Structure 1
Amino acid sequence: MKQQNTIPLTAPQRWVLGLASAAALLVGLDTTVVATALTTVRLDLNASGEQLEWTVNAYTLSFAVLLLTAAALGDRVGRRRIFVGGLAVFGLASIGCALAPSAQWLIAGRAVQGVGAAAVMPLALTLLGAAIAPANRARALGAFSAVVGVSVPTGPLLGGAIAEGASWRWIFWLNVPLVAVLIALVLIRIEPSRGPAARLDLAGLALSAGAAFGLVWGLVRAAAAGWTAPETMLALGTGAALTVAFLAVQARSSHPMLPLRLFAVRAFAAGNAAIFFVWASAFGSVYFMAQFFQVGLSAGPLEAGLRLMPWGAMTILVPRAVGALIPRYGERLFVVGGMVLHGAAMIWIAALAAPDVAYWRVMTPLILSGIGVAAAIPATQSAVLGAVTPPDLGKASGAYSTLRQLGGAFGVAVVVAAFAAAGGYTSAQVFLDGFAPAMLGCAALAGGAALSGIGVAGRRVPVVVPAT
């Protein structure tokens, strides 16, 4: 088959790419930016350890729970309308967080922020996929991933710098003018669009939100209370039962929010499975690498953020190159190869872990890990969005975004369990005793991603979705 040639993006397409990427970067930053400011939040608001945990988890929870719902509403009500609405909710919630007089207020504001973010992230992918033809989509997704990748290294670094140099409240105040500018530009530069006309699948909306809530709550609590805690088991069991009910409703529905026929497409199913494990391994590794530098090697929060920058730089530099190469080589090479590279780097770091290890020795596997993750993410996006027809782009992006968030929560829960089984925080050496198994857990998750990635396309080929 002849290879499709890419053509330059038009001005409207460049606006969609730029605005979708900027909005996704903004909500992505708020996933990690608070982490290094928690100490100052605790002192200012007299917050307990559990309240600090929920300052992070409240955002993650509402974000993950409503992704599929937001994607479905975008198709029905209007993609630009839901996208702008999500930005507005995110901005208003940021004001609430900045003004928070107590930890409880801050947690509530973070939960509402997550609601806005849940509307922004899947709709950013949907708008991008709808605006850009398949011949250019992989390259555009590479650019999108490069911009969004900035959030991973710069979130903790930015949070630490703001907390040390000004006040943690400015983390949220800075969102407000950025959101206002984005809303204005989106309304001017992006045309309204929606998916095919269909009634809202109200049962599907309720069941998907309930299932995601149960699963994410269970995974979050597993990291804190343990996998066998009654709260964890009840939440995971409820989430699993609601997932089964959701799938049963989707199979019978004449207007499903997530058509199960999409999973008959190998690239769609494999790409979604792969991003679950990619994000699980990546989130788990970053979660503990930041602690490795602080607890294991006695670095401060800002220094730890700087030491993670080589990893983060790869998430900025690599995706654009991968996006340009996918039309020639397909997605499989980058998902499988990237995860093998990342997994090997995790094993290497586990072998190096010691209280006196020099930073330069850790830097090489850290860079290799970043290259692997940065290669896999745009390839999974391309595989999933390239496997569906335009009417299903919203549904595909909702499924992809949901599984990515679930993967992140799952990864942290798994590596925390591996860490807790062998280590702790009483000394640097005790921490490192648990750190090595945690990194091996990340390597195992990377192996799951590589195996899943075998199912995506080895070369770019057109895919026909089975008829309903």
Structure 2
Amino acid sequence: MMRVGRRTGDGSMTFRSIWLIFTACAAVSLVVAAMAALNTALPDIAVDTGATNAEMTWIIDGYTLVLAALLLPAGAIGDRIGRRTVLLVGLAVFGTASLAAVWVDGPTSLIVTRVGAGVGAALIMPSTLSLITAGVPREKRAIAISVWAAVAGAGAIAGFFVTGLLLNFFHWNSVFIAFAASSAATFLLTLTIGSSKDEHPGRFDVLGSLTSMSAVAGVVYGLLEGPHRGWTDPLILVCLIGGAGLIVAFVRIEQRRTDPLLDVGLFRNRAFASGSLSVALQFLASFGLFYLVLQQLQMVYGYSALKSAVALFPMVAGVGVFAMLGNWIAVRFDSLRFVLATGIGITAAGVILLGVVDTDEYWKLGVLLSVCAVGIGLATAPSTTAIMSNTPLENQGVGSAVNDTAREFGAAIGIALAGSIMAAGYEARIGATAAAAKNQIGAFDPAAGAQAEEAIRGSLAGAVKVSDSLPGQASQLAHEIVSGAQGAFLPPMQSACLVLGGTLAVGALFLGWFAPRKILEPAC
């Protein structure tokens, strides 16, 4: 099987290696952008399809859940049958599912297409990184991983931006057409690169695959749905407790197998384990902030979807620049511990400041987002390099899948923390505003008053929607609703930032103690 990226005697980067990196980054950007893009288009989709709140949640979470659950088996399949082959199949599935979404006639069929796109994304994501690490000369691998990590880190914001731009001019279907067209273009690019695989794979671990899929799906579902259903909901408890139990069962199964899906002994390698934890913390910060800040930009500042995406550009710049710097420092000075602890620590400081500083003007928010981006950027590439450098070359697909699974877990935890704190805090503060609106609107139309109260109690977005629907002569009531809802939103938003930042600070301290100095660390 041809290896990607011709190796030269001096370890220099060839055009083939550069082309490989470009192609892999194009593919991974699709997957990450699709995780975020529909958040922007969801209001329009809900109006056209008649989706309920629960269905809107699944339009977003169906993709994420399937992606997270299938990553490990997908990475192992790529190691066995060829990473380029799996990438091509993934692009075909992702593109077909995206195109099918153009013709949906209801929320259920849209959810099905999103689940299909998640299957394709699970095949794409681990293949991109494993192709790079197997095909780029060892001396240039850190640079290649830095580029991949920067693109993967900024992909969500690119998704927000492209979606906002399309929605400014076209119907929400255009978002799926763009994904389908991008998939087709990336498919053609992928045909021009070589492949790699494990030349002597063992038997595929069916039991381990089924156990890992069930465990990840249970935990991620519980984390994503917990803020909506409540943490004491029986289904959420079953998913979280059952998922945790399946993770323990998965570890025991893998320890006893000759050809495991995942060599769980890799986590005894401190560099591998530290990289995995750091990746999870970065995405906890990123997606927790996206959840909070996008609402602030659109519902408090009054920004459009496109302007909100542009407002997040400081994060793109920070992550892009400091990903290269962080990896160079970690590799050049054997300072993985310093870079990971410092990066996560700076991120923690930025998020905590968002919980302390009154960001009543954008420039304050932009500065603090830049601080967060510097920290995430410093830690992102060294974390992935530590994971991939300590994974055997023949198992790079599984190593990449571990990296990606850590991202999904981190994102789910970040959204769960932010969402739960926001929901509880908002509900505790919005009562007087919702009751006043019900009384005033209900004086003329009791049914409309009850509906308005429910929407206002539900979320800041619901309150803004009620305000916008009122006639001009009710401008004073509209102002009171928006003012009251914003007043109920901002304190719990700051509380959520403090909790997220505190979690990151604890993680930074742990990494400062646990992470090794060198990226390449022999297993314990």
Please state which band the TM-score falls in when normalised by the shorter chain.
Answer: over 0.9
What is the letter of the counterpart of residue 29 of structure 1? A
Gaps of 5+ in 1: none
Equivalence for 2:189 = 185
Equivalence for 1:449 = 507
* Structure 2 residue 137 is the aligned partner of structure 1 residue 133: yes
Q: How does 1:396-407 map to 2 (within 5 A)?
A: 396-407=399-410
Closer/same/farther in 2, CA of residues 6 and 428 from structure 1, 3 Å limit: farther
Q: How does 1:41-440 map to 2 (within 5 A)?
A: 41-194=45-198, 196-329=200-333, 330-353=335-358, 357-424=360-427, 425=460, 427-440=485-498
What is the letter of the counterpart of residue 492 of structure 2? G
Inter-partner Cα distance in structure 1 for 2:199 and 2:491: 51
Is the partner of 2:303 in helix, strand or coil? coil
Inter-partner Cα distance in structure 2 for 1:310 and 1:396: 30
Equivalence for 2:3 = none
Offset, 1:53: 1.3
What is the letter of the counterpart of residue 122 of structure 1? P
Closer/same/farther in 2, CA of residues 305 and 181 from structure 1, 3 Å limit: closer
Q: Is the 8 A contact 1:138 1:326 kept in 2?
A: no
Which deviates the most, 53-62 or 332-341? 332-341
What is the letter of the counterpart of residue 336 of structure 1? A
Offset, 1:288: 0.5
What is the letter of the counterpart of residue 137 of structure 2? A
Offset, 1:445: 2.6
Is the partner of 1:150 in helix, strand or coil? helix
Deviations 1:82-138 (A, max 9, x none): 111111110111111122121111111001100100111111111111112333222
Is the partner of 1:423 in helix, strand or coil? helix
Gaps of 5+ in 2: 1-8, 428-459, 464-484
Inter-partner Cα distance in structure 1 for 2:373 and 2:43: 28
Inter-partner Cα distance in structure 2 for 1:365 and 1:267: 29
Equivalence for 2:517 = 458
Q: Is the 8 A contact 1:335 1:449 kept in 2?
A: no
Equivalence for 2:456 = none
TM-score, length basis structure 1:
0.93
Inter-partner Cα distance in structure 2 for 1:196 and 1:17: 26
Inter-partner Cα distance in structure 1 for 2:376 and 2:161: 20
Offset, 1:212: 0.8
Q: Is the 8 A contact 2:281 2:344 kept in 1?
A: no
Deviations 1:171-212 (A, max 9, x none): 111122322222222222223433632100010011001111
Closer/same/farther in 2, CA of residues 395 and 196 from structure 1, 3 Å limit: farther
Q: Is the 8 A contact 1:75 1:196 kept in 2?
A: no
TM-score, length basis structure 2:
0.84
Is the partner of 1:189 in helix, strand or coil? coil
Q: Is the 8 A contact 1:36 1:156 kept in 2?
A: yes
Closer/same/farther in 2, CA of residues 295 and 178 from structure 1, 3 Å limit: closer
Deviations 1:290-339 (A, max 9, x none): 11222333333332222222123222332223333332133323221111
Deviations 1:213-247 (A, max 9, x none): 11111111112112111111011112112111111
Offset, 1:389: 2.6
Q: Is the 8 A contact 1:63 1:115 kept in 2?
A: yes
Offset, 1:280: 1.2
Q: Is the 8 A contact 2:131 2:196 kept in 1?
A: no
Is the partner of 2:192 in helix, strand or coil? helix
Inter-partner Cα distance in structure 2 for 1:274 and 1:317: 18
Offset, 1:6: 8.4
Q: Is the 8 A contact 2:343 2:374 kept in 1?
A: yes
What is the letter of the counterpart of residue 369 of structure 2? L
Closer/same/farther in 2, CA of residues 200 and 447 from structure 1, 3 Å limit: same
Deviations 1:252-303 (A, max 9, x none): 0010011122112111112112222221122111211111222333333332
Deviations 1:371-425 (A, max 9, x none): 1112211111011111223123222211221121011111111122222332353
Inter-partner Cα distance in structure 2 for 1:160 and 1:415: 23
Deviations 1:319-366 (A, max 9, x none): 223333332133323221111111111121111236xx1211222111
Closer/same/farther in 2, CA of residues 143 and 340 from structure 1, 3 Å limit: same
Which deviates the most, 290-299 or 208-217? 290-299
| Percent identity over paired residues | 28
Closer/same/farther in 2, CA of residues 72 and 225 from structure 1, 3 Å limit: same
Closer/same/farther in 2, CA of residues 207 and 232 from structure 1, 3 Å limit: same
Inter-partner Cα distance in structure 2 for 1:206 and 1:57: 20
What is the letter of the counterpart of residue 407 of structure 2? R
Inter-partner Cα distance in structure 1 for 2:344 and 2:327: 17
Inter-partner Cα distance in structure 2 for 1:145 and 1:273: 15
Inter-partner Cα distance in structure 2 for 1:25 and 1:318: 18
Q: Is the 8 A contact 2:145 2:381 kept in 1?
A: yes
Aligned length: 459
Is the partner of 2:191 in helix, strand or coil? helix
RMSD (Å), alpha carbons: 1.9
Greater radius of gyration (CA): 2
Inter-partner Cα distance in structure 2 for 1:340 and 1:331: 14
Is the partner of 1:183 in helix, strand or coil? helix
Equivalence for 2:29 = 25
